[in-house]
Amino acid sequence: MLLTIDIGNSNIVVVCYDDHKKLRFDARYETVKENVKEYYTQWITKELLPLKGRLDLDRFILSSVVPKVTLEFFDLLKEILKIEGSNCTLDLVKDFEVKLAQPSDIGADFIATSYGAMAKYPLPCVIADLGSATKLSAISKDFVFEGGVILPGIKISRDALSSFIPHLPTISIEVPKTVIGKDTIHAMESGLMYGHIDSVIGIAERMAKELKHKTTKILTGGFSNVVYPYLPEFRFEPFLLNEGLYEIDRRSHHI
């Protein structure tokens, strides 16, 4: 049984798969960035160690975009769970071509979501990953990472609005039923959510045109759960990154 872990700036997503890629467990936790060794020693012991016995975990694979957590977390997983594991980096995926000015700059999240998409959908594809930041990546029909777009995420955008214009009310992250606002809160919610939704739609369409081929569009990430009904042309895949980790592990172990 494989333990896949996605460490993002806001959340940690844990998903366990059997050897047939059947999801056996999933959970989401807050990412803590202070007192890393002390906190995650307790957290792994409490949250993950019981899973090892219950699901017969024999290996793990980690994706992290939080450098101050990555190495300590990886070592703690091996020490506490006493199983072998891999860290998702470009060195782990020798067959993945990355057309960036500095290929080594690519994040583990971009690598993993690319493999998750490739395993399920025809290429080329555009992946919209809505997390702390909203990231869109373009994968060519030959499974080449062509590049991407990064913009402030939904929560960051909301918090910036309140921070820079203090007299405005705090709003919730939900999509209002109508675009035209009838009061300040409604107007702010509409601007935040429909503005973000239409940004994703518009940027994805521009990227698809640059790929010059019929393009699959995929939606994932924590905030995708809120907006996916408003993006019907996108395939909704809440665990795309973890599925990508499964695919990378499968290739490295030739399962």
Residues with active-site annotation: 109
- Assigned token pair, 254: 């030739």
Per-residue b/e over 167-188, b at no fewer than 16 CB within 10 Å?
eeeebeeebbeeeeeeeeebeb
Beta strands in 37-132 (DSSP E): 59-64, 84-87, 97-98, 125-130
CA–CA separation, 41 vs 73, rounded Å? 8
Rg for the chain, CA atoms, rounded: 19
Residue 228 DSSP class: G
For residue 8, count other CB atoms closer than 10 A to its CB. 21
Residue 129 DSSP class: E
Q: How many CA atoms lie less than 13 Å away from 247 in the CB half-sphere?
A: 19
The residue whose two tokens read 């050897």 is 19
The residues with which 103 forms a beta bridge, in sequence order, are none
Residue 117 Cα distances to 8, 140, 242, angstroms: 19, 12, 11
Establish whether the linkage from the previous residue to 124 is cis, with ω within 30° of 0: yes
CA–CA separation, 176 vs 179, rounded Å? 7
